[in-house]
Structure 1
Amino acid sequence: MAMNNVRSVRCILSSTKEAVKVACQRTYATGKAKKGSKGGGTADGPKASSLSKEIKSTTVVGANILKEGTDPKILPYSEYPDWLWHLLDKRPALSELRRKNLEALPYEDLKRYVKLDNRARIKENNSLKAKN
């Protein structure tokens, strides 16, 4: 009789382990989305853009942040200010500025040197205070 109880307990334990395995498995939805159903799933992948190539090449698509209005048109380069084309230019790092003669630096680089040097000194002082 004790042997039958052990077998039934083993059977219950093995079936619960299988149930736990099935319950803990990560599953994904399969199948095609029905027409008119919720969920937003697509059947075969991303849809092609409904905008023509002409519109994409003449306007900044998605730049309009207002509810009403249209996307701005792309202007010729001569219509934009000169400083715009230098925004992404590489500026010298602090180590590079320290190697140069400070009297010979242009005003913008000198201003950048002071700013970066001050920031580095503040970080160093903070790290020294944090260790004590």
Structure 2
Amino acid sequence: MLRVLERRFFSSASRLLQQETAQGAKTLQVKSSCPAGTPLNLDIKKGGKNPVALDDSEYPEWLWTVLEKEAQEKKLAEDPMKMRKVEIRKRSRANIKQNNFLGQL
């Protein structure tokens, strides 16, 4: 149930982001969906504290560009070694999928 909600949240957030960029907003100010002070219910450790959402200005600027495909491609283009690594990983995954498919025949 939680995974479905997470998927729905991220897909709707990325859809809103795409709509805003399609409208031509040059000074795109993405706002988080959680107001500051909201508990995030992300307890991973048994004795750990529950993290609380911060104000939007307290997060780093790169966080708001993670879902933008163009920004990520631009960042990869600046570092050819990372780009090569990503290409090799994609090709390897495609080969593994093809081999698995052919192994089922």
For Structure 1 versus Structure 2, the TM-score category normalised by the shorter chain is 0.3 to 0.5
Give the structure, 1 or 2, with the largest relative contact order (CA under 8 Å, sep 6 or more): 2
TM, length-normalised to structure 2: 0.40
Q: Say which structure is richer in helix.
A: 2
